[in-house]
Amino acid sequence: MQDLAGKHIVLGLTGGIACYKSAELCRLFVKAGATVQVVMTEAAEQFITPVTMQALSGRTVYTSQWNTREPNNMPHINLSREADAIVLAPCSADFVARLVQGRSDDLLSLMCLARPMDRVPLLIAPAMNREMWAHPATQRNLMQVSADGATMLGVGSGWQACGETGDGRMLEPAQLLEDITAFFQPKLLAEQKVLVTAGPTFEALDPIRGITNHSSGKMGFAIARAAREAGAEVTLVAGPVHLPTPRGVTRVDVISAQDMLEATTRAAQSASIFVATAAVADWRPATHSDQKIKKDGSGKTPVLNFVENADILLTVAKSERAQAKKLFCVGFAAESENLAEHAKAKRERKGIPLLVGNIGPLTFGQDDNALLLVDAKGVRELPRAPKLTLARELMTEIAARLPDWRV
């Protein structure tokens, strides 16, 4: 997906060993559709060469204010005016201090100072030793830079090149790409609290076996990411899946339908939007064996009795908060046939404003999907596309419905 298509990013490198990550970040920007202009400080050149960054960006790297390529000798003006954003990755403690002081004794600091603040955002990915990160002077400077309008992208924690372990590592390139992509997305759900359920549930027969389904959780995780990109505070209740948690999302892992019910009803008490994407098991075994159920050689199969699981979506939709129109509920229907007919019936049965239908066998485990939006006005199709693309479209649909629904 070319999430940054049409964007022009100035990637600024300051002195630090994390410059090795900047090469991969530049590559990811280009792969996501952006054009990238690299600007390096003299200190950055001690860690990575301009030749490397030129090869990855496809553009000549700028290192000096006095570059004769610019007819007016003003690269600090020309480069900043062309940018959709300036990204400093890595940004050293020294360079953060320079920004606070408004210093402009090299091209990169001069360009940050000269940028039109109303239309060229400054995004900062700090990188430094854990003691430097924790120092009161650094923390004061970071707060001041944020107050001056920059966006802090945070730091990672772990082993550092100096041999110490702690906070201060530059985020990984893929993490930065996700954060920067989110930065550019419209904040349609700002101040909303979104609750998403995702994945299958697992209903145990014994310590070894159980009943589940083919849901991969990919659609629900895409929705959680899209909601966060849209500016919402997001809680993701996830069944047993092996997917990375989207950046900035609070994840609650559960196993069974009962676990999911308890976690969801608890989180729904403060949510304003609920998207029930999870493929919850309809039934669970009436009893659970403490030991593995084994064959006894008789050829007889064990008799299994089942009880119905609670309907999580219906439980939340009938809650006092939802009935008072403080919680907008969106359901998902995974069908194998007659999608529109079943989706319409399910929406009415649940009493919810919006239901999203899809054909389960065509989407489970896939990276793309096709959706059917069903509301009181009728049916609308979202043609097959990557799940994240569809998730973003769904956030737009939800945001558009909220004002009328709450009247």
Active-site annotation, residues = 162
Cross-strand bridge partners of residue 306 = 285
| CB-based contact 313:356 (threshold 8 Å) | no
Six-digit token string for 53: 């960054």
Per-residue CA distances from 153 to 122, 168, 175, 246 (Å)? 10, 12, 9, 15
| CB-based contact 234:182 (threshold 8 Å) | no
* DSSP 8-state assignment for residue 4: T
Q: Whole-angstrom Cα distance, residue 200 to residue 202?
A: 7
| CB-based contact 120:86 (threshold 8 Å) | yes
CB atoms within 10 A of CB 17: 16
Six-digit token string for 397: 């649909």
| CB-based contact 89:176 (threshold 8 Å) | yes
Give start and end residues of each alpha helix (H) in 129-196: 130-134, 136-147, 173-184
Angle, CA 316 vertex, CA 315 and CA 318 arms, to 5°:
70
Residue at token pair 């609308």: 380
Q: Whole-angstrom Cα distance, residue 355 to residue 333?
A: 7
Alpha carbon distance, N-terminus to C-terminus of the chain: 37
- Identify the CA nearest to 124 among candidates 148, 101, 96, 97: 96
